[in-house]
């Protein structure tokens, strides 16, 4: 039944990826992910099989060096993948697995990253078909974030953190202010992950690109930002979204 939902030209990639998921679920390992040698032994069977390579002496599991690292139980991956193709929403999948929405989203993002690395055609179809429209709960959180950022950037006279006066004035384009009464300067973002994150005029565009699923390189090109800057910003917004009680959206935007 699931094959009927996948375009014929993608069946080979679909079968190959499905086989990869089966190997991960069965914890079948063919070689060391570090040195590619085939001589290794099991050092622990629970909660998942852990191996040690006889050649390089490194420890590994079936998911080492993949986006699925530590995402146990592995059999959830196939369930999420096939049911997303079958138009099942995250909430329904989470209810079926008796787990949180965030865990389902995290695993689906790992699936997307894996497809992007190994099965680009299937990745393009899967992301276009299933990810272009945000589910209602994520869309609601996205609107919340946009409203908070807009209000933050438009704030003109916040209460002084030092003396409580409302006689404050904005300094530049950032969220920095000076109190006219006590003459102290302060920032609304002190002690937050956004402290010292520059270019506030790009924040809303950056968040929009995060939500759309853009990669770091795509965001960098769109906003003329260095790749290291994009990584730093992505991490900062992940924690800021969590602080603003938008954890599902934070997970959605965390990695790409």
Q: At 170, is the pLDDT very low, low, confident or very high (cuts 50, 70, 90)?
A: confident
Q: Where is pLDDT greater, at 173 or 169?
A: 169
- Between CA 220 and CA 63 the distance in angstroms is 29
Rounded to an integer, the average pLDDT of 18-35 is: 94
pLDDT, one tens digit per residue, over 35-65 is 999 999 999 998 889 999 999 999 999 999 9
Exposed / middle / buried, residue 111 (Cβ in 10 Å: 0-12, 13-18, 19+): buried
Q: At 4, is the pLDDT very low, low, confident or very high (cuts 50, 70, 90)?
A: confident
Rounded to an integer, the average pLDDT of 104-109 is: 92
What radius of gyration do the chain's Cα atoms show? Answer: 23
Instruction: Please give the pLDDT value at position 222.
Output: 92
Rounded to an integer, the average pLDDT of 15-36 is: 94
Lowest mean pLDDT among 3-7, 129-133, 245-249: 129-133
Instruction: Please give the pLDDT value at position 10.
Output: 92
Instruction: Please give the pLDDT value at position 88.
Output: 82
pTM > 0.75: yes or no? no
Residue at token pair 């969590």? 242
% of the chain beyond a pLDDT of 90: 65
| Mean pLDDT value across the chain | 90
Instruction: Please give the pLDDT value at position 16.
Output: 96
Check: CB of residue 227 under 8 Å from CB of residue 200.
no
Distances (CA, A) of 138 to 52, 107, 253: 41, 16, 11
Helix axis angle for 227-243 and 216-223, nearest 10°, is 100
Rounded to an integer, the average pLDDT of 92-114 is: 93
Rounded to an integer, the average pLDDT of 221-227 is: 93
């Amino acid at each position: 039944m699931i094959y009927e939902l996948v375009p014929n030209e993608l069946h080979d990639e679909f079968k190959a990826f499905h086989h990869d998921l089966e190997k991960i679920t069965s914890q079948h390992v063919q070689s060391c992910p570090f040195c590619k040698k085939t001589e290794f032994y099991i050092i622990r069977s629970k909660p998942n099989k852990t191996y040690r390579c006889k050649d390089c002496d490194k420890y590994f599991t079936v998911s080492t060096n993949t986006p699925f690292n530590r995402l146990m139980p592995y059999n959830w991956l196939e369930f999420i993948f096939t049911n997303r193709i079958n138009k099942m929403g995250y909430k329904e999948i989470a209810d079926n697995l008796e787990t949180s929405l965030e865990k389902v989203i995290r695993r689906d993002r790992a699936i997307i990253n894996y497809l992007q690395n190994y099965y680009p055609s299937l990745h393009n179809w899967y992301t276009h078909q299933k990810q272009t429209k945000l589910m209602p709960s994520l869309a609601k959180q996205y609107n919340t974030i946009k409203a908070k950022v807009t209000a933050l950037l438009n704030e003109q006279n916040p209460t002084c953190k030092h003396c409580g006066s409302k006689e404050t004035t904005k300094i530049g384009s950032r969220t920095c202010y000076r109190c006219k009464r006590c003459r102290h300067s302060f920032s609304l973002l002190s002690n937050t992950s956004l402290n010292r994150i520059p270019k506030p005029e790009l924040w809303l565009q950056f968040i929009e690109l995060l939500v759309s699923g853009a990669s770091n390189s795509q965001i960098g090109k769109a906003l003329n930002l260095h790749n290291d800057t994009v990584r730093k910003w992505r991490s900062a917004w992940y924690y800021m979204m969590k602080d603003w009680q938008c954890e599902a959206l934070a997970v959605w935007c965390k990695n790409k």
